[in-house]
Chain A
Amino acid sequence: MSSPVLTHLVSDIVAGRLRVVDLTHTLAPEFPPIVLPPEFGESAPVRIEEASRYDARGPAWYWNNLSFGEHTGTHFDAPIHWVTGRDLPNNATDTICLDKFIASASVIDCTREAGEDADYLLSVAKLRAFEERHGRILPRSWVLMRTDWSKRASDPVAFQNFDETGQHTPGPDVEAVRFLVEERDVIGFGTETIGTDAGQASHLRPPYPCHALMHGAGRFGLQCLTNLDLLPPTGAVLIAAPLKIRQGSGSPLRVLALVAA
């Protein structure tokens, strides 16, 4: 039996009444990876090596061998990624309930604050101010922190923004994460930077609150998003399904947003 909703969805996309926005960076070796202090195990970089290209290795076909860490490029964080979420049910990329991969999104515009202060921390006050203008953040929805940080991606130095004290990138503060999980029941938090947490979040209490609290409550993360400036504050629908990696802690993925034209 057909559903009128699905019929309309497809016809609206075909007719251009709904736009599909790509929130994904191209997966490539030069895209900046997460960098940990060298004493820790490192993420494997993205590598694309030719198996053949219409040559002696394969005269009529071109294909590559791919390798990458689970947390490279635009990627999804599953609850099992963090120690706080390791014992939750359905906490990995292959066991998360499918219906959670499609959800609406609120986009909090922090471009001005992040432009003035690379270490900017999104606060509860900022979230409440958003809600006053655009309505209450919906349960089971994504909250995306727009900073326009993705516009730095062509300059890996500016994108990573390291100095001798580490990385300087914006993210949420502890109370904002707690508020989104406990009082708004969001499905996850997304950023344009390499982490869902701020670059200096190892100095927050607890360290890495977005990882510790979101994943500890079974919520997800999306990072290295782009084109958030093309989304409305509310009303976009995200399709964000990671690769079905057995016991995967995350995965590069294609993040699509459906928005009214």
Chain B
Amino acid sequence: MSASPPGSLGSGQRAKRRNPLVPLKPPSVPPSGRSRAAQGLTAAAALGILALQRCEDCGAVQYPPRDACVQCLSAKLRWRPMRVGGELLSETLIRHGQELFFRHRAPFRAGLVRLDDGPSAIVALHRDCEPAPSRLRVRLVLDKAGQALMIGLPEKDTPDMADDSLIRDTTCAPRARKVLITDAKTKLGRTMVEALLAAGAELVWAGFAAPWKPSPHLDALGALEPVTLVPLDVSDETSVRELAGSIGGKVDILINTAEYHRPGTISSRPGVETARAEMEVNYFGLLRLTQAFSPALKARAADAPVSSTAWVNILSTRALSNDPAHGTFSASKAAAFSLTQALRADLQASGIRVINVFPGPIEDEWNALVPPPKLSPAALAKAVVDALERGLEDVYPGEIAKDLIARFLENPKALERELSG
């Protein structure tokens, strides 16, 4: 479907350069109106799960989402993960669309699929799906507008299947893309750079603040050919603006790893200076980055052959409910989390995905007193790459994070009490 798919490149290879005389294509997104019930699909797609409503009374699985059971009219519908297979019953080729987004992509395949858990659904079909009748894999993904879209994939992986525009429009794969990692001086930063390179990023800009503080991680990265070390102090407006002026128009994926963390209860340290330093990096730093980097990111969202695609925030489960042993840090991450929602709203119209990652305690010096299990930087970096490749929006990497989000969703007040114990 695509004229020059970046996916046909090997890892580390360069995409064909853009013709600078051709006007930049403005980004377009598919229609985003959804019922409130249908937002349940969006929540599942944000996590990369195929979930549908199931009736608590009669067991019927519902599609499309609704307020009362299609069989028994019970209102007790609960979102449950579903099996990800189905039978393609029939298909059609859509050659024309009223929406600008679909016009740019026509012709494309759409099919009627009977899901293994019961209901039938119209899905967008990958180009490599076998003609009906055939088995296929069903996924719930986020489209360019950030809304849930059900897609059908061939039952087994096919060569270059990531080149299909259906995949490219719903994922943010790092392959052949240029990535900025805002702080690469830490173990996490270094691991993130290495993971993005391994995932096929063309080049990585590795940010560093306070150049006088030695960092073995930065030294190691500086030796790698596809890595460029760039000065970046997110607590300094000038520094952020200068870097954006230099590379802002090239960044396809921004991963904000910059973090300031000092453990302690709020009564353990007098004054606000440490809390302010946390806010300067974790909250205002993010705000400075958004102001400096999002304009060019938005403008290049439909660039070809390689487009800007995603903004990744490393937040914390402590952003959801305060961990009093890290009181001010939790508050700064909660502020950052709130800002990422505004950022998501701002980037939505251009189709740039905002990926929020909520790790539990990471293995670093600031969580030294937190008992294991803790999330390793490698596991966190792997989760980020996975989220980019699958186009997720909310990521809870590791067992601690999964446990915390489950407890939070089930009863936020209970979690507050549990964390204060």
Q: Which residues of B contact A163 (CB under 8 A)?
A: 214
B 273-316 binary contact with A (CB < 8 Å = 1; else 0): 11011000000000000000000000000000000000000000
Beta-carbon contact of A156 and B212 below 8 Å: yes
Answer yes or no: B236 CB below 8 A from chain A CBs.
Answer: yes
What is the CA–CA distance of A99 and B264 in the complex, to the nearest angstrom?
45
Whole-angstrom distance between the Cβ of A55 and the nearest chain B Cβ: 14
Whole-angstrom distance between the Cβ of B245 and the nearest chain A Cβ: 15
Beta-carbon contact of B212 and A45 below 8 Å: no
Q: Which residues of B contact A49 (CB under 8 A)?
A: 237
Beta-carbon contact of B239 and A29 below 8 Å: yes
What is the CA–CA distance of A25 and B170 in the complex, to the nearest angstrom?
52
Within 8 A of B (CB), among A5-49: 29-30, 32, 35, 38, 41-42, 44-45, 47-49
Q: Which residues of B contact A30 (CB under 8 A)?
A: 236, 239
Beta-carbon contact of B212 and A47 below 8 Å: no
Beta-carbon contact of A42 and B277 below 8 Å: yes
User: Which of these, B212, B233, B273, contacts A32 with CB under 8 Å?
Assistant: B212
Beta-carbon contact of B211 and A156 below 8 Å: yes
Within 8 A of B (CB), among A152-169: 156-157, 159-164
Q: Which residues of B contact A159 (CB under 8 A)?
A: 212
| Chain A minimum-CB-distance residue to B236 | A29
Answer yes or no: B265 CB below 8 A from chain A CBs.
Answer: no
What is the CA–CA distance of A38 and B273 in the complex, to the nearest angstrom?
13
Answer yes or no: A229 CB below 8 A from chain B CBs.
Answer: no
Beta-carbon contact of A45 and B236 below 8 Å: yes
Number of interface residues of A (CB under 8 A): 21
What is the CA–CA distance of A155 and B210 in the complex, to the nearest angstrom?
12
What is the CA–CA distance of A217 and B419 in the complex, to the nearest angstrom?
51
Knowing A41-B274, A42-B273, A42-B277, say if A47 contacts B236 (CB, 8 Å): yes
Answer yes or no: A175 CB below 8 A from chain B CBs.
Answer: no
Q: Which residues of A contact B147 (CB under 8 A)?
A: none
Beta-carbon contact of B212 and A35 below 8 Å: yes
Answer yes or no: B213 CB below 8 A from chain A CBs.
Answer: yes
Beta-carbon contact of A44 and B273 below 8 Å: yes
Beta-carbon contact of A157 and B211 below 8 Å: yes
Knowing A29-B233, A29-B238, A47-B236, say if A162 contacts B273 (CB, 8 Å): no
Beta-carbon contact of A162 and B238 below 8 Å: no
Number of interface residues of B (CB under 8 A): 17
| Chain B minimum-CB-distance residue to A43 | B273
Answer yes or no: B235 CB below 8 A from chain A CBs.
Answer: yes
Beta-carbon contact of A50 and B212 below 8 Å: no
| Chain A minimum-CB-distance residue to B271 | A41
What is the CA–CA distance of A58 and B412 in the complex, to the nearest angstrom?
44
Q: Which residues of B contact A161 (CB under 8 A)?
A: 212
Q: Which residues of A contact B274 (CB under 8 A)?
A: 41-42
Within 8 A of B (CB), among A139-192: 156-157, 159-164
Whole-angstrom distance between the Cβ of B401 and the nearest chain A Cβ: 26
Beta-carbon contact of B273 and A41 below 8 Å: yes
| Chain A minimum-CB-distance residue to B241 | A50
Q: Which residues of B contact A35 (CB under 8 A)?
A: 210, 212-213
Beta-carbon contact of B212 and A160 below 8 Å: yes
| Chain A minimum-CB-distance residue to B212 | A160
Q: Which residues of A contact B235 (CB under 8 A)?
A: 45, 47
| Chain B minimum-CB-distance residue to A64 | B237
Q: Which residues of B contact A160 (CB under 8 A)?
A: 212-213
Beta-carbon contact of A50 and B277 below 8 Å: no
Knowing A156-B212, A157-B211, A163-B214, say if A47 contacts B237 (CB, 8 Å): yes
| Chain B minimum-CB-distance residue to A49 | B237
| Chain A minimum-CB-distance residue to B288 | A49
What is the CA–CA distance of A253 and B233 in the complex, to the nearest angstrom?
25
Q: Which residues of B contact A42 (CB under 8 A)?
A: 273-274, 277
| Chain A minimum-CB-distance residue to B233 | A29
Whole-angstrom distance between the Cβ of A128 and the nearest chain B Cβ: 35
Within 8 A of A (CB), among B254-281: 262, 271, 273-274, 276-277
What is the CA–CA distance of A251 and B168 in the complex, to the nearest angstrom?
55
Write 24 A-B pairs (CB below 8 A) sorted by A numbering.
A29-B236, A29-B238, A29-B239, A30-B239, A32-B212, A35-B213, A41-B271, A41-B273, A41-B274, A42-B273, A42-B277, A44-B273, A44-B276, A44-B277, A45-B236, A47-B236, A47-B237, A48-B238, A156-B212, A157-B211, A157-B212, A160-B212, A163-B214, A164-B214
Closest 6 CB pairs of A and B: A160-B212, A29-B236, A156-B212, A49-B237, A157-B212, A156-B211
Query: Could you tell me which B residues sit within 8 Å of A by CB distance?
Result: 210-214, 233, 235-239, 262, 271, 273-274, 276-277
Given A35-B210, A42-B273, 5 more pairs with CB closer than 8 A: A29-B233, A41-B271, A48-B238, A156-B212, A157-B212
